[in-house]
Every structure is written in C-alpha cells, then in structure tokens.
Chain A
Amino acid sequence: MVGGPQTHRLSNGGLIDRSAPLSFRFDGKTFVGYQGDTLASALVANGVKLVGRSFKYHRPRGILTAGSEEPNALVELRTGARREPNTKATTAELYEGLEAASQNRWPSLRHDFMAVNQLFAPIFVAGFYYKTFMWPAKFWEAIYEPAIRRAAGLGRAAGIADPDHYDKAWAHCDVLIAGSGPAGLAAALAAGRSGARVILCEEDFALGGRLLADGGTIDRLPAADWISRTLAELAALPDIRIMTRTTLFGVYDGGTHGAIERVNDHLPSPPEQQVRQRLWRIVAKRCVVAAGAIERPIVFAGNDTPGVMMASAMRTYVTRYAATPARRVALFTNNEDGWRTVETALDAGLQIAAVIDARAEVSPAHRSLASKGGFTVLNGSVSGVEGGKDGVKKISVSMTGGARAEVEADGLAVSGGWNPAVGLTSYHRGRPKWRGDIAAFVPDGAPPGMVAAGAANGDFGLGACLREGFAAGASAARDAGRNRKAGAAPVAEDEAYSLTPLWHVAGKGKAFVDYQHDVTASDVELAQREGFESVEHLKRYTTLGMATDQGKTSNIAGLAIMAAVSGKSIPETGTTIYRPPYVPVAIGAFAGHHRDETFHATRLTPSHHWAVEQGAVFVDTGLWKRAQWYPRAGEKDWLDSVTREVKAVRGGVGFCDVSTLGKIDVHGPDAGAFLDRVYINTFSNLAVGKARYGLMLREDGLVYDDGTTSRLAEDHYFLTTTTAKAGLVMQHLEFCRQVLFPELDVQLTSVSDQWAQFSIAGPKTRDLLKEIVDPAEDLSNEGFPFMGAREVALRGGIKARLFRISFSGEMAFEISVPARYGEALVRNLMLAGKQFGVTPYGTEALGVMRVEKGHVAGPELNGTTTAADLGLGKMMSTKKDFIGRVMAGREALVAPDRQVVVGIKPTDKARRLRSGAHIIPKGQTPGPDNDQGYVTSVCFSPTLDQWIGLGLVERGRERIGEIVHAHDPLRGEDYDVELCNPVFYDPDGGRQRG
C-alpha cells in the first residue's frame, strides 16, 4: 500500500469499507483512505490539518464542517480538463486515484508568499479599495486592477473544454422531500403509505442525515437499524423514488423544483455513455423541506485556526468516518447539543481537555460526565486561540466573572447553536421569522405547497423531527389527493436543547465572521460606523455571505453583531434575501446537451443530403442549414462560384431550394376577408389560380413581413412568409384569427414541412419544366401567365403545385412537391436539365439576383421601415381596415426626410461596396448631423460587372443620380457612390413576364 498509515483513523467503527482502501493525492502527496470517505474525512484520518488559504489574508485554514456549508476546505479537484475549482473537500467522495490540490497559495500551501497580506491587514479592512487606487486614473486598468484580480478568486478553472457530458430531465410527483434525515424519512414513510408518488432527494451519498453521526433510538431500534427497516418499507411501496447525491437547489413557480444529481462524480470519470451530472426539473404538488439545520460558529479571535471545528462535524468525523480531527479536544459551546461531542469523543477514547460552556448552568448529568471523564468545565468563553498552520495549541478562556484560563488542546469543537436551513423556503422572497427560544430564524412565507419539517423548521429533537416529518408527509399526501391511512409515526425521545445566545467574544486578534471572505467582527463594526447598517449594505460593503457558501455559517452571526453595534434586535436587523441555488451548480449541468453542435436544433431542407453530395457550402439561417453556393473544381473563391451560378441562371436555367419559406394553408369561407385585414393590400379579390405579393404591418404601422400568397380554391389560400419570420407570422395570424377576428370562419395550418419548394429560374425554365411536367399541362405564357398558380401533374404521376413567381427577375416558376419527393425532384431536375446546363444555385446567388432586381429582404425589412420606405407605399389600401393602418399615419412615419430604399453603386466600377457603410453628402465631413443613411445589402453583380447595393438613404428616391460619399471608418474606406434606381436589372419586368 502506498502512503503512510492513517494516523488519525480509529481501529474500528464508522460507515467506511475498510476492505476497500483507496489511494489519493493531495498537493502531490499520496495518502490512503477508504470507500465511504469524503476527501475531508480521509484527510482528517491522515492527520492533515492545513488544507487551504483564505481569500484576502491568505491565512492558513483547516476543515470546519462536514457538509455542503463548508467555507474553508476548498480544493481544486481532478486535473487537466476536468479540474474543478472550489470543490468542497467535505462533500467530495473519495475514489481511487483522486487528485486534489489546495488553492489560492504560492508557491505552496505551507509557505504562501501572499500571506504577507496579513501585514497589510490594518489597511485591508472592509471596503478599503473604495477609498484608494484612484490616482492616477490610468493606473486602475494597468496596475491596480490586474493585481487585485490575480490576488482574488480562489481556484483555477480548467481553461479548456469540459470533456464530460450532462443532461437534463423532468420528474413528477405528489410529494417531494428534501433530505433523508429523521424528518425526511418519516415524511417519506407517511406520504408513501398514504399512496402518494414520492421523490426524496438527499445530497449525501448515504441516507440518514444526522442519524449517521448522532445515532439515537427510534421505535426502540438503533438508528441504523431503523434506517434499514424504513428503506425496506419504502422500497416495497409502489411509487417511491429515492435519489442520493442529489441536491434540491431551488424552487420555481408552479411547483417546479431544481435539483442537481451528481451521477458520476464519485468516480474518476463517467462510464461510457453516461453523464457526469444531471439537472432535474421536478414538478411536485407538495414539497416537504427536511433539509436539517446548520451548526453555527461563534466569532472569537483565532476562530479560523486549523483544528477549530464545528462540534457536530467533529462527531461526524469520529462516528461516521472513524477519523479523529484531534486527540485532545476542547469544546466551546453555548448549548446542550454541543455536549454530545464530548460523549462521542470519550466513547472514541479521545481526551477531553476542557469544556468551555458560555451558559450560566451546566446540567448535573454533564457535571458528572466531566468528573467521570476527568476534565474541567469552564463557565465562560473562548477569547483566543494560539496555533497556526499545524493547528490549535492553546486556548484562552475568559471566565464568567472575569478570570482567565488557558487550555492546551490540539482541537477545539465549537457549537454556537443551530440555524435551520431556511434557503429553499425563502427563495420566493419570503423572509424567515425569528424564534427567540432557539435564537434562530425559522421558515416563514414559504412558496406555495412547501413546508419545512424537523430541524429545518427549528425543531431539533429527534422525536420532534420524526413527528413533524411524518405529519408533514401525511398532510402533503392528503393535499395531493392521496388519502390512504398513514399509520403511526416513528417514535423517539426528545433531547433537551437549551441555549444561551452567544455570537461574538471580544478579544485581541482577528475574529472571523465569514471565513471564506475574511470578514471579521471589526469589519462589521466598521461598516456600521460608515453607515452601511442595512444588512444588504453590510453584505455588499464587507462581502459577508457572498462567498461560495453563501454565508451558510456566517450570515446570522454577522447580522447579530450588526444588531448589537447598532442597538437593534436581530429580527429588527433582518436577513438578506436568500438566493438560489442552495449549493453552487455546474454551468455544464444547466446547459445539458445544448452545447457544441447540439446547442440548438438543426433544420434540414428536403434537398439537404443531395446538396451535401454536391459539395455545397452551407450557411446557418435561423435553425436552417441552407446551401450557400455549390463550388466547382477550379473556382478560386466563393465569388467565382456565385458569379457562375448567377450567370447560369440569367443565361440558361437554375434552381434553388426555397423550402425554408414559411408556408401556411389559409382555409375557410372568410379566408379572403381575413387576409385583407392582415395585409395592407387586398386578397379577397384575387382570382383562383393567381398569386399576389403581400406586405403585412405590425399594429404600430411598421413593416412586419412579406411574401406571396396564392388562391388555390375559393376557400383556400396558400400563404408564404420569409424564412426568418415563419413561426412568428403563424403566431401572429393565429392571434388575429382567434382573438382579434373570431367572427371570421377561417382555419390556419402550417404546411412548411409538407412541401419541398424550389425556385426554377432563367430563360430556359419553361424548357426544363416541359421535360418534367405532364405534357398535357399548358405552360405557355397564355396558359400559365405571370403570377399564375395551380396544381399540375408531373411525368410519372405525382402532383405538384406550380407558381409563376420570380424573385430573380427572370422567367421563373416555383414548384412544390410533397416533401418526401423533394430529393427525387432535384435529381429529376438535374437529369432533365442536363441538356440545358441546369445549375443548382445557393442563397448567395439568390441574394445577388434579388439585389439586382431591387427586391427588399431581411436587411431592409428590419422592423423600423414603413411600406413607403421600401417603395411599397402605394400598396396600402385606402378602402379597408388592416393591421397597422392607423399608426402608420403618424407624422414621423410619413415625414418627407425619411431614409428610404434606393440603389447604390460605386462611381469607380472596380470598387467593392460594403454593407454597413454610411452615406454622407459629398464634400462634407462626416458627423452625426449629416449621417444620412447606410448601405443595407450589397453584391457583386455579374450582370452589371460591378458591386452594387441597396441602401436606406434620407430622401433617397428624390436624389437618384446624386453622387454621395460612402463612409466606412471601421474598414478604413471612403469612396463616392451614386444613388440610383434600386431595380438594376430589367426595370420594366419584361423578362419575368416573358
């Protein structure tokens, strides 16, 4: 076996598997622990006391707790791409080969150079940085801030892509239970017996909560036996799901809860096909929070010395892990519960140095325990601890009455009482309420359907936890409609819990409130002095409670000290707002599989795989992959390919997959009337067998979308939208149909995916179509005129829809076939068109031809343009109401100096035009007052053999022929351009009509 002996491991006991030794490394040194250990318990068992350095002062720190509230023992776990900063050693399960390193120290944990910060501690008080580092101003980014940044932060992120996978899932239940301590298990029993569907989440890998460390007798059984019996009963019930390694971290509206399951963090890496962690969205009718309580420290000088540990944590290490944090233990307590640690330590054969009890009275039973155990009980408080990297050496005690005493010990257990875990119950901004008898906040104003039980509700006795948990489980089940008899609750005795509140012991030296952020009692006092009295100001000014533990061990003590110095009560002082997640959750888990190529879904056109075969280059358009161009051998860049494609269309025939357009079937007797209301122009008078371009506005009068709509039957229109707006237009039309115009008899369905649609364009279009369309169909200009639309038969028997519309300005048709024929259609077009040199073209060539033709598209339909801006103002009907009609008439929207669509071409034909260049009057120096518009769309026009574009330019259409300046400082370009007719190609439309 590698590594030394486990010097601090008891020879028997504990919930560890001694037959499964595991070797692990901490800061490069090899140790051995057991299956069932956490990293922290294994370090304890190996006598390691120093595990980290604090945030600001780099003080040596040890292990304070045994749970997810740990503020000190944070490590970098794993190495390489799997390195996880700020991992709590107290919750990290040990596995064979585990590697961990301490953080925030250089060059080593024992010899940390940054510990010099402690010398500057008198200056580094709360908020000191707000008062300095201001001169000279330039020094902030250059010097001060980088230094602060390097010093701040704790661990280092891996810096390379996370190799593990995550997923997300949904679960549903009647009763959700957080925590598997006595209250949680009792709640599960009651709810399960009542017939409820139950999910119980436990963040630990073992079930039982505090029972695992504190034991007890339930139903006359030892706690461990009771747990086994209970789990067996739960397993026999039909709908109980127990999820270990799962933390309920948040509660959201409608009974949705967030939970994180650490599926494989207890292994070196996830097994094949498995995820590291899974994010659960659990929908529950009721939730019982049995998340227990967190023992709180007492603030005294040197309370951060390694070896100072929460009393309950010390019990956990000794009982559950058979590991001894110290050999000679002192206890500092203000309550009865702390004394349990003495009993545990004595049972384990440890020495008790002394008990320092801040209360006036110690029970006779404990007095006799002291005399039996041979230790003294000091009535007073710990005022200081001596020691350092190697742990506690000496403890100074201020006795009640003023005397002082010293105690030699190598460990100090501290119990300041217990704070119920009020996180979950407070996440809907409910404020917990103060309970004087336990000097703690308990849940109040919990989210709907949520209730706390047991220690989480401030009732700490075992008997009470069982009773309350059981009652809460039964009533939650009842509320969820499950009424079977729950039977009897488990029974146990209630222990006494008498407490005298004690938050802060005055003394010399730094006394820490927030360990991780190095916030001391005097920082809290300073904050008060400077007016940061509100607890939220206190938090923000001192950073109290903002560390990775979110102040689980520090917040209440901080506000108690603030209350004391400001002369208010604790409830008057109040708490800060509780924020989810309850424990920090990996960002990867929230993302699930939505990363890399699967970040978003991908939509594929019917010809996609064929285009892949052709070697097409694809472009992302929304979720779509569209063929952008089809490179051919010998072409040196995209422009070569696109130019070839455009020329092939203009000179012959080409086709392009336009299936991405939104397609909507509009049915019903009132379909025409409906379209009249959503478009600015009229559709009710469109003849069957004809198509028409339409433009729709938003209700605010600005252009929303455009497209061609055809009338296929008296009561059936086929509407198309732009690719970008397909879903939104459908939503808008449904709103019009269902909400605005319910009196109209009209039905809408998306048929976007039903039809594969291709544009076939070029002078040889008709020749190509004749090859593929049934010879009986009349495709002549008379038989199928421009803007005609009808169903035709294709050779081979299938039906298609043919629309004589043109985006390119050429003689063109769009053809639709049912989508599963899409690929066959493409192949047939290639086959039939070979003789005509048919050329598939992509979205770039499509774009070139639409710019040449002056058609507006996305860059011009940008949500701020009017119909008139686009040159389509005359389409606005004056004979009917339509969406956007009234608001479109506002003064600024009809002002004569608006920027309107115009053509733009460089005066130097060799010059490349770029989108985003601004238009400035010629001869003027560019400035905000003469910025008259910008170039919206550009292309290299093979037809004109130069770059051309469209722009939105002030009074553009009145200025055709004017030479202006294209100003593009981003790209360092300035050149003259001419404003021109936006229709560069075939302005009278002869080609598309021919």
Chain B
Amino acid sequence: MRIVCPFCGERELGEFTYLGDAKPARPAADAGEDAVFDYVYLRDNVAGAMSEHWYHGGGCRAWLKVTRNTLTHEISAVEPAAGVGAAKVGA
C-alpha cells in the first residue's frame, strides 16, 4: 500500500503506523462513562470506505486522516488529521 502524505507526497506503507477509525471523537471531560466506553471499545468496523488515523512516523510525524476502502484497500483521500493544522489556525 502507498499513502499520499499531504506534506511529503506518496510514501510506502512501512513509513506509517495505523491507529484506527477516525470517526469517533474523544468525549468531553464531563461526558459520562458510557460515552467514553463507546469511544474506547466499540467499533463500526466498516466494510467499505472508512476514515482512519494513520501516523507518518517514518516521515514527517504528521497524523493523517486517510479515507480507505477496507474491502479493496483503495485510498480515496488523505488529509491532515483534525487539528494537525493547528499551527496554521489564525495564521
């Protein structure tokens, strides 16, 4: 597999580490235990296009949000993970 890092360009799989589904957001500090349980343990386990977190640790160390089809491994979009552009906010 090859992932087009929005910062570095196309790179091979070995430079990246996988985390998982990028859809669930970390619940707010005052969210209840159920919400956190859901975030930590339950998965949609999508069969098809899925938005995922990958880390370009073997490259620019950016966390990425990759849209990838779990049936075909085809990648349709890659963008910086939420907030990776933080340094750009307000710039």
Contacts and interface: CB of A to CB of B under 8 A. Distances in A.
Q: Do A and B bind each other?
A: yes
A739 B63 contact: yes
A238 interface: no
Contacts of A622: none
Interface string A402-435: 0000000000000000000000000010000000
Nearest to B28: A881
A253 B84 contact: no
B33 A889 contact: yes
Interface string B3-16: 10000001011000
B49 interface: no
Contacts of B53: 735, 739
B36 A886 contact: yes
B1 to A, nearest CB: 4
A745 B86 CA distance: 8
A256 B12 contact: yes
B40 A253 contact: no
Interface SS majority for chain B: mixed
B57 interface: yes
A742 B89 contact: yes
Given A253-B73, A731-B57, A735-B55, A700 B40 contact: yes
A152 interface: no
A252 B74 contact: no
Nearest to B65: A739
B2 A255 contact: yes
Nearest to A734: B61
Contact of B37 (A283, A735, A887): A887
B29 A881 contact: yes
A286 to B, nearest CB: 15
A448 B61 contact: no
Given A253-B1, A253-B73, A738 B83 contact: yes
A254 B86 contact: no
A699 interface: yes
A134 B49 CA distance: 49
Contacts of B80: 738
B61 to A, nearest CB: 6
B63 A734 contact: yes
A727 B61 CA distance: 11
B86 A743 contact: yes
Contacts of A889: 33
B75 A254 contact: yes
B28 to A, nearest CB: 8
Contacts of A252: 1
Interface in B52-91: 53, 55, 57, 61-63, 72-75, 80-86, 89
A776 interface: no
Interface of A is mostly: mixed
Contact of A742 (B40, B62, B83): B83
Contacts of A738: 62-63, 80-81, 83-84, 86
Contacts of A740: 26, 83
Given A253-B2, A256-B2, A742 B36 contact: no
B19 interface: yes
A889 B36 CA distance: 11
Q: State which size class the interface on B falls in.
A: 35 or more
A739 B73 contact: no
Contacts of B89: 742
A751 to B, nearest CB: 14
Contact of B55 (A731, A881, A887): A731
Contacts of A741: 83
Contacts of B13: 253-254
Contact of B2 (A254, A428, A735, A743): A254
> Which of B83, B84, B85 has the most CB atoms of chain A within a 10 A radius of its CB?
B83
A741 B55 CA distance: 16
Interface string A733-753: 011011111111100000000
Interface residues of A, number: 29
Interface in B24-60: 26-27, 29, 31, 33, 36-37, 39-41, 53, 55, 57
Contacts of A745: 86
Contacts of B75: 254
Contacts of A700: 40-41
A881 B73 CA distance: 37
A886 B33 contact: yes
B1 A742 contact: no
Nearest to B89: A742
A744 B83 CA distance: 10
Interface string A240-270: 0000000000001111100000000000000
Nearest to A254: B2
B84 to A, nearest CB: 4
Nearest to A739: B81
A574 to B, nearest CB: 20
A887 B37 CA distance: 7
A361 B17 CA distance: 63
A742 B63 contact: no
A256 B40 contact: no
Interface string A867-906: 0000000000000010000110110000000000000000
A128 B25 CA distance: 57
A253 B73 CA distance: 7
Interface string A87-104: 000000000000000000
A679 to B, nearest CB: 15
A258 to B, nearest CB: 13
Contact of B40 (A699, A743, A744): A699
Contacts of B33: 886-887, 889-890
A739 B80 CA distance: 9
A741 B86 CA distance: 9
Task: Point out which of A428, A737, A739, A742 has the most chain B C-beta atoms below 10 A from its C-beta.
Answer: A739
Contact of B74 (A281, A448, A735, A743): A448
A224 B61 CA distance: 54
B82 A739 contact: yes
A738 B81 CA distance: 7
Contacts of B57: 727, 731
Given A734-B63, A881-B29, A739 B83 contact: yes
A889 B41 CA distance: 15
Given A253-B2, A734-B61, A743-B86, A887 B40 contact: yes
Contact of B1 (A256, A731, A735, A737): A256
B75 to A, nearest CB: 7
Contacts of A743: 83, 86
Nearest to B68: A253
A734 B40 contact: no
A309 B2 CA distance: 44
Nearest to A281: B12
Contacts of A731: 17, 55, 57
Contacts of B31: 886
A726 B56 CA distance: 16
A898 to B, nearest CB: 19
Nearest to A252: B1
A740 B29 CA distance: 12
B40 A739 contact: no
Contacts of B37: 887
B2 A742 contact: no
A742 B82 contact: yes
Interface of A: 252-256, 281, 283, 428, 448, 699-700, 727, 731, 734-735, 737-745, 881, 886-887, 889-890
Given A699-B26, A699-B40, A700-B40, 6 more contacts: A281-B12, A735-B19, A738-B81, A739-B84, A743-B86, A744-B86
27 contacts: A253-B1, A253-B2, A254-B10, A254-B12, A256-B1, A448-B74, A699-B40, A700-B40, A727-B57, A731-B57, A734-B55, A734-B63, A735-B19, A738-B63, A738-B80, A738-B86, A739-B63, A739-B84, A741-B83, A742-B82, A742-B83, A742-B84, A743-B83, A886-B33, A886-B36, A887-B36, A889-B33
Interface of B: 1-3, 10, 12-13, 17, 19, 26-27, 29, 31, 33, 36-37, 39-41, 53, 55, 57, 61-63, 72-75, 80-86, 89
